[in-house]
Structure 1
Amino acid sequence: MKWGLLGGTFDPIHMGHLRCAEEIREIFELNRIVFIPASKSPHKLDAEITSFYHRAQMVRLAIEGNPSFSFSDVEHQRAGKSYSIETVEYFLNKYLKSIEIYFILGQDAFQAIQTWKEWQKLLLLCNFAVLTRPGYENMGLSGALPEEFSAQFTYDEKTSGYRGPTGHHIYFRKVTFLDISSSDIRSRVRHGKSITYLTPDPVRHYIQKNNLFQMD
């Protein structure tokens, strides 16, 4: 079984998230994509973030009807900050390594991977699927990782990925770039503008029903 793990604040989840997940599922022939909202993102501690309850409900609504998409509140179950290393270890321990994990993230996040908790260990625990996007030149591993660490990886022509010492790969894959951001959606809602076609209709209706992202 091959699972993709897609974390994020999802405030709110939008079509860009969903389309990227679908394309990565198809590219790597994954059996499942697990959407994992962060409870307390260590990189956004000072930001005003919608309650986990509402963000989780919106994710559930967005993926409803897609049998390949599922939801996990594992990061809300843990106290303290939401660290990806702990999330990956949770899934590996729960399923006794019977699943092959593909950790999905954008190239901008990968460029900042050295700011993540135990990033060296994390990169050796599972496969990484890095979504390339305009504005972030694909420089391979050298653009994000120290030379002494990246030297452990060898480019594999067969898989078009960088194979590490534990047998896991770091892949860079181009996906359809939808220039949609959660912050723009929130801004549009605050200013009374339409968000139709930016996020699934059930999510849009939920936002309206619960008066989310309104000005104070």
Structure 2
Amino acid sequence: MRKIGLMGGTFDPIHIGHLVAAERSMEACGLEQVWFIPNAGPPLKERAPGASPEERLRMAELATEDHPAFRVLDLELRRGGISYTYDTVDELSRLEPDAEFHLIVGTDRIRDLPLWHRIDELAQRIRFIGVDRPDDGKPADPALMPPLPEPLRERVIRVPMPQLDISSTAIRTRLAAGLSARYLVPDAVLGYLTAKGLYRHDG
């Protein structure tokens, strides 16, 4: 059975931190591929994406095009509405019945797992890979995480990664201020952001 990693998000924009998390998860968990899935509407976030769905999809494609094990899927964008992970996994399981799916998420999202849509059923179908990420300036620490219910905790694999203090929000803020996103996003994405003038407020 193929082990496939799934990484969802607005990717507004996709950045180096996303790619490092995917690579480290592949190495630590023996994944054959990682599929990046830009979402149409995240359930636990209120802000609307700054770039269009087509632009976010294109940036994800540009960021991953030189990695033979990375793929980008547009199924959530085509489906529209709120992007529930359960619905996505259900669809992918029908399309790829021989795949074992592992969802790659930051430790902040691991804390939110009890709030996820149909989480008990989802946890029976996939494993969760929790990658460390900066949180309010403090390093991720399992001891600081509230305890998950045992059935969920058993489905989580923790993977350490470099503490890269990079976020899509910070990149949008820099670009809006006329600053550079160089070395925060892949060069192909930087070229796309520059050409399209995304996130800049020139009045």
Whether these two folds match at TM > 0.5 is yes
SS at match of 1:24: helix
Is the Cα contact below 8 Å between 1:110 and 1:144 reproduced in 2?
no
Q: In structure 2, do the counterparts of structure 1 residues 61 and 210 end up closer, same or farther at CA, with 3 Å as the change threshold?
A: same
From the two aligned structures, give the one with the greater helix fraction. 2
The number of residue pairs the alignment matches comes to 197
The match for 1:124 is: 124
The share of aligned pairs that are identical, in percent, is 35
When Rg is computed on C-alpha atoms for both structures, the one with the higher figure is: 1
SS at match of 1:33: strand
Is the Cα contact below 8 Å between 2:10 and 2:38 reproduced in 1?
yes
The match for 2:172 is: 186
Structure 2 gaps, min length 5: none
Give 1:24's aligned amino acid: S
Is the Cα contact below 8 Å between 1:132 and 1:138 reproduced in 2?
no
Give 1:121's aligned amino acid: E
Question: Is structure 2 residue 116 aligned with structure 1 residue 113?
Answer: no
1:51, distance to aligned residue in structure 2 (A): 1.0
1:190, distance to aligned residue in structure 2 (A): 1.0
SS at match of 2:142: coil
1:194, distance to aligned residue in structure 2 (A): 1.4
Moved over 6 A (4+): none
Alignment of 1:29-108 (within 5 A): 29-96=30-97, 98-108=98-108
Supply the RMSD in Å over aligned alpha carbons.
1.8
1:129, distance to aligned residue in structure 2 (A): 0.6
1:107, distance to aligned residue in structure 2 (A): 0.6
The match for 2:192 is: 206
In the superposition, the TM-score normalised over structure 1's length comes to 0.85
The match for 1:137 is: 141
